[in-house]
């Protein structure tokens, strides 16, 4: 693996990592907009009336839930250009895989939500399609945050970013890089 890293100049790797970093931040923004649109649609359904799948609020939520997994797929394709970000067995990074799985589950929750409302008119947050959506978004955010942290750690290793100045956070960062953060006993 060390020989592959030497083939890519440091400046090009930093440029690619920063493009991935910006792309992930944009996907976080889209995730936030999706959650807000879905919450607006749910509150409208709870207060006014159950609408059809062809209303503007649903168009917004559905289109964003289709774009989220596709955007993460494009990030996955682009991340193949940075060998250090590859996961076990030359596959995608584990955090990236978790993010794609989570956002894909949220995308399929919309179809289940529409199917659910053929039989049940009530819009309750505690129904199974909403569980799938909420868990998909949560899992996707956890995976994407793990991937973002990996990119940020690599940018610090290359000297493109400066680590934090807080000594407690700096110590945890050092332990995390060494893989010892969760293996020590908590006092």
Any domain includes 145: yes
Does 38 map to a domain?
yes
Print the domain residue range for 21.
Answer: 2-162
pLDDT (0 to 100) of residue 175: 74
The pLDDT, as a whole number, for residue 4 is: 53
Predicted local confidence at residue 122, as pLDDT? 59
Has residue 53 been placed in a domain?
A: yes
**pLDDT score, position 127:** 64
| Residue 123 pLDDT | 56
The number of folded domains in the chain is 1
How large is the angle between the packed helices 10-47 and 56-79, nearest 10 degrees?
160
Instruction: Kindly state whether residue 46 falls inside one of the protein's structural domains.
Output: yes
In a domain, 16, yes or no: yes
How far is the C-alpha of 117 from the C-alpha of 135, rounded, in Å? 20
User: Angle 116-71-73 (CA atoms, 0-180°, nearest 5)?
Assistant: 95
- The dihedral built from the CA positions of residue 156, 144, 66 and 42, taken in this order, carries a sign that is negative
Q: What is the pLDDT of residue 1?
A: 47
Q: Is residue 180 part of a domain?
A: no
Is 171 within a domain? no
Closest-CA residue to 99 (of 131, 144, 64): 144
* Token pair in block for residue 63: 């289109």
pTM for this one?
Answer: 0.72
pLDDT of residue 40: 76
Structure token pair of residue 12: 């090009």
User: Given this model, what pLDDT does residue 125 score?
Assistant: 54
Q: How far apart are the first and last CA of the chain?
A: 37
In terms of residues, how long is the chain? 187
Which residues of the chain register pLDDT less than 70?
A: 1-6, 42-57, 117-129, 163-164, 177, 179-187
- Inside any domain, residue 183: no
């Amino acid at each position: 693996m060390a020989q592959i890293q030497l083939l890519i100049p440091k400046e090009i790797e930093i440029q690619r990592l920063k493009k991935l970093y910006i792309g992930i931040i944009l996907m976080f923004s889209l995730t936030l907009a999706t959650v807000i649109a879905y919450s607006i649609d749910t509150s409208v359904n709870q207060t006014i009336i159950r609408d059809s799948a062809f209303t503007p609020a649903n168009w917004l939520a559905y289109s964003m839930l289709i774009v989220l997994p596709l955007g993460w797929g494009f990030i996955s394709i682009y991340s193949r250009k940075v060998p250090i970000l590859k996961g076990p067995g030359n596959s995608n990074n584990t955090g990236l895989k978790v993010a794609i799985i989570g956002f894909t589950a949220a995308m399929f929750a919309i179809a289940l939500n529409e199917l659910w409302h053929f039989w049940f008119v009530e819009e309750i947050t505690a129904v199974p399609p909403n569980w799938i959506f909420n868990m998909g978004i949560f899992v996707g955010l956890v995976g994407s945050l793990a991937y973002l942290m990996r990119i940020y750690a690599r940018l610090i290793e290359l000297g493109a970013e400066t680590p934090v100045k807080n000594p407690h956070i700096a110590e945890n960062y050092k332990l995390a890089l060494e893989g010892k953060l969760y293996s020590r006993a908590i006092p």
